[in-house]
Structures are given as C-alpha cells and as structure tokens.
Amino acid sequence: MNNKKPSWVTYFSLAAVGLAGTGISSTALAQDPYTVGIEASFPPWAYVESGEFKGIAIDAMSAIAEDQGFEIEFQDMPFPSLIPALAAQKIDILATGLTVTEERAEAIDFSIPWWETNDVVLVPEDSDANVFTAVCCGASVGVQGGSSQQAWMEENVINNSDVDVSLSKYDSYVTAVDDMAIGRISSVIVDDTSAQEYINSGRPVKMAGKIYIRAPLALAVTKDDSQEVLGKLNQGIMNIYDSGEWQEIVSSYIPGVVAPPIPGHMPGFVDTYDKPVSGLPELGNE
C-alpha cells in the first residue's frame, strides 16, 4: 500500500520547493549605484563607528563619486572575500588599503596608485627585540590573512630560508595586535599607516623597525570593467588630489601625515599602468 503516492505529499513538496525559491532578491541593475566593497575593520582606511562607515577610503571614495557624478553604496566584507567578490562581480569597486601586487593584477584591474606604504614590525611595548630578531630565530609573527605582508613574509623568510619563524594569519590586524598583547605571538607585521593608528590609540605596542617595500595602494575594478569605471576612478583620484581634498581627508584621519604624491610609482607588471592609462591618457609606462 505504500506504493501508492498520496497526492498531498506531492503538493506539499512542490510548495516547499516553491517556498525555497522565493526570497532571493537580485541586487544590481545596470543603472544602480556602484557597489563599493570595503573591509570595514581596517582603520584608518575603513571602519564602522556608531553604525556609520568612516575612514580615508570611505571619504575619498565618496569625494571621487561626487567629482565624477556617480552614485555609490558600500558593502562590507572580510578582506579575504573582497578580491573573489570583485572577480565574481558581486562588487564593482574595491576600496580598502589594497596593495598593488603582481598576482592580484592578474585577477583584477588597478586604478592609479593613491598611496604608498612601507611595512612596520610591531612588538610589545616592553619587548627588547629589534627589527631583525623580531622576525627571526624562533619568533612567531602575526599578519592578516591574504595580506601583502603575509606574501612578503612567505616570499622572503618562510619559503626561502631555514630561519625558524612561524607565521600566524589573522582575520584582521586588530586581533593580531590583541593576540600579541597576551603573548601568543611575538611580533606583528603591518603597514605603517595602521601601525601609527595602534600607537596613537594607546595600544601597548611599539615599532621595532621598518621594512621599506614602497608598496603602492590603489582602488580596483573587475578585469573586464564593462561599466568603464576605471577611467572615472583615475580622473577622480587625480582631481581630489589636485584640489587638496585628498590631503584634507588624510589629515583628518592621520594628523601630521603628508599624503604621498599622486600618481606614485606605477609598477611595470600592472597592465593597466601601460600608456595610455584609462581616463588619464598622458600618463603610463612606455
């Protein structure tokens, strides 16, 4: 008797499948605002205070949008998800303290560099480690997962030498610095802008030394860039730099710091830096 299928079971199943199919909503139409992907736990570039997005990247992105006359909305995601999200076109623009690297240039397109960073080795306030001992010989070093600092450590220390160093990858730099405060790791490698933030805000850390890598930071768009956002971003960055608005934004978040000149050093391995650069045809590598 079990072989006879009760008809209401069928209706019920169909209803359930139908229900599972509803509630999925589309986000983007062609004329919608551009979705700007950010990692909002990365002060001073992007963070949330009292429910509002703040930071250099947030203010600058808003200024660029106003200058170029397009609408934007911000979408926060953990850093390791941002580049895949851009590649999958879940976001249109990536605006965080994003370092220009060769691997990334293969997956996404970079705007002209708008910042230059060097890395800092942070150690606990009471540590007597120097820049060498802090990343050597039994040290355990913390970095943010997927960051350029992780790549630098792996390339220069972990993979290419017998130096006894362990590398811990964190969800965000703030948790790495917290973990160092309780003694689980001995140093943290972070970009100089963020390092200054931690010190300014009274975290018990100090700089053991600097690693001069002169890494350019830039905005990024999807590889095919069907909406031709890249040219607008490049012009917008140039305009807010020339008008002095860029320096104002930077000063309001990191007082006393002079913004590096724009355009900065444009590495040859990035194809979007070949002459003519989108939106700024007089620029570019020959």
Partner 1 sequence: MDIYDVLIRDFPFLLKGLGVAIALLFCLLVIGLFLGLAICLIQLYGPRSRFVQWPLIVYERIFRGIPIIIMLFIFFYGLSGVYDISAFAAAVLAMGLRSAAYQSQIFRSAFQSVPEGQMLAARAMGMSSSKAIAYIVLPQAIRHAIGPWTNEFSSQIKETSLAYVIGVVELTRQAHYIITSTQGNVLIVFAVVALLYFILNRAGNSALYAFERKLSVPGFEK
Residues making contact with partner 1 (CB under 8 A): 1-9, 12-13, 15-17, 19-20, 23-28, 40-43, 47-51, 54, 75-78, 81, 84-85, 88-90, 172, 174-175, 177-178, 181, 197-198, 201, 203
> Which of 200, 190, 186, 206 is closest to 120 using CA atoms?
190
Q: Which is nearer to partner 1, 65 or 82 (CB)?
A: 82
CB of 191 to partner 1, least distance (A): 15
Nearer to partner 1, 80 or 231 (CB): 80
Q: Is 142 helix (H, G, I), strand (E, B) or coil?
A: strand
Q: Is the peptide bond before 276 cis (omega within 30 degrees of 0)?
A: yes
Residue 193: CB minimum distance to partner 1, A: 13
Closest alpha carbon to 118 in 173, 216, 192 = 192
Using CA atoms in the order 125, 129, 130, 131, what is the torsion angle rounded to 10 degrees?
-90
The helix/strand/coil state of 39 is coil
Min dist. Cβ of residue 52 to partner 1 (A): 10
Closest approach, Cβ 199 to partner 1, in A, equals 10
Q: Which is nearer to partner 1, 44 or 236 (CB)?
A: 44
Q: Which is nearer to partner 1, 90 or 206 (CB)?
A: 90
Bridge partners, residue 35, by sequence? 73
Q: Between 89 and 140, whose beta carbon lies closer to partner 1?
A: 89
Report the C-alpha gap between 274 and 243 in whole angstroms. 25
Please state the closest distance from residue 11 (CB atom) to partner 1, in A.
Answer: 10
**Least distance to partner 1, CB of residue 90, Å:** 6
Q: Which is nearer to partner 1, 23 or 255 (CB)?
A: 23
Q: Which helix (H) or strand (E) holds 58?
A: helix 56-68
Cβ proximity to partner 1: between 40 and 167 the closer is: 40
What is the per-residue DSSP string for 217-253?
E--EEESS-TT-HHHHHHHHHHHHHHTTHHHHHHHHH
Least gap, CB of 156 to partner 1 (angstroms): 28
Q: Which helix or strand (DSSP H or E) is residue 107 part of?
A: helix 102-107
